[in-house]
Chains A and B, each alone.
Chain A
Amino acid sequence: MNTILSISLACLLVFCILSIMSHSLLKSAIFLALASAMLGVLMYMMGAVWAAVIEVSACSGLVTVIFISAISLSNIKKDDIHKQYEDEKRMRWFPITMIVGGILLIVIALAKDFTLTSALQQTTDHFKEVFWNTRQVDIMGQIVTILIGGIAVFVLFREEQENK
């Protein structure tokens, strides 16, 4: 159990870094989807079953589809990315920042003696009750958010017929 946790945690970090450093946008999207899958596995191992399912289906599926449709709507050829955006030069310092940040965090964790203890495990059969009974305000907020998403698609994505 511990090995699956460590492997998925390590893969999550590696896929995120790869997704940021990659020069092709399609590869970035695919690495993001893989990172979502790893996060889903991690959440399942921690005991959050429902959150893992929604994470894998929404982030790994829906966000990747939105992203790839945005990429295809913008129609950029692969070579142009290298020439125009010069992200190579800008992201040059990224691995060094990560390594320095990692060492800094480990030093802080050792110095401050930072341990968290986990409580006794409770059964998680009551997710339905908790979600539908006590978090009704969040559900109202989610409905309004989805409504805004629908209006945004209608307003922002429609072709302008007047200008043609």
Chain B
Amino acid sequence: MELFTWETNMLIVGFLMILAGCYCMIRTYHMLKIIIGVEVAMKAVTMFLILAGRINGNMDLSQAFVVTVIVIEVIVAVVFAGVTIGLYKKYGNMDIRNLTQLKG
């Protein structure tokens, strides 16, 4: 089918990856798996940015965006892991169902 150019394929794969990342973030019980969900969704966004650059012809600008997004993604992973380890030391396991102190 000539409708399915590779750009449309990439858009579909990107949407599926964002769906997968959000599903993982919502449904898992393990705190470190939430980071994996965030990373997968960020990879999808990176792919969208490169695709946008290819479509516009302005690949330099979109590469600049991608470099910045990757730096931010790494630091978010560091901060998230830090808070998670802090919670592990308080509770003894990485279960997110333990967090019931703040209610109402």
Contact = CB atoms under 8 A, between A and B. Distances in A.
Nearest to B79: A152
A113 interface: yes
Contacts of B85: 70, 73-74, 156-157
A25 B31 CA distance: 11
Range, interface on chain B: 35 or more
B57 A145 contact: no
A10 B32 CA distance: 25
A46 B78 contact: no
B6 to A, nearest CB: 6
Interface of B is mostly: helix
B77 to A, nearest CB: 5
A87 B75 contact: no
Contacts of A29: 36
A154 B97 CA distance: 28
Contact of A50 (B36, B63, B73): B63
A7 interface: no
Nearest to A61: B74
A43 B50 contact: yes
B12 A36 contact: no
Interface string A130-156: 110011001001100110110011011
B53 A42 contact: no
Contacts of B94: 74, 76, 85
A70 B81 contact: yes
B20 A141 contact: no
Nearest to B61: A130
A16 to B, nearest CB: 5
A41 interface: no
Interface of A: 2, 5-6, 9, 12-13, 16-17, 19-20, 25, 28-29, 32, 35-36, 39, 42-43, 46-48, 50-51, 54-55, 58-59, 62-63, 66-67, 69-71, 73-74, 76, 80-81, 84-87, 90-91, 94, 97-98, 101-102, 105-106, 109-110, 113-122, 124, 126-127, 129-131, 134-135, 138, 141-142, 145-146, 148-149, 152-153, 155-157
Interface of B: 3-13, 15-17, 19-21, 23-24, 27-30, 32-33, 35-37, 39-40, 43, 46-47, 50-51, 53-64, 66-68, 70-75, 77-79, 81-86, 88, 93-95
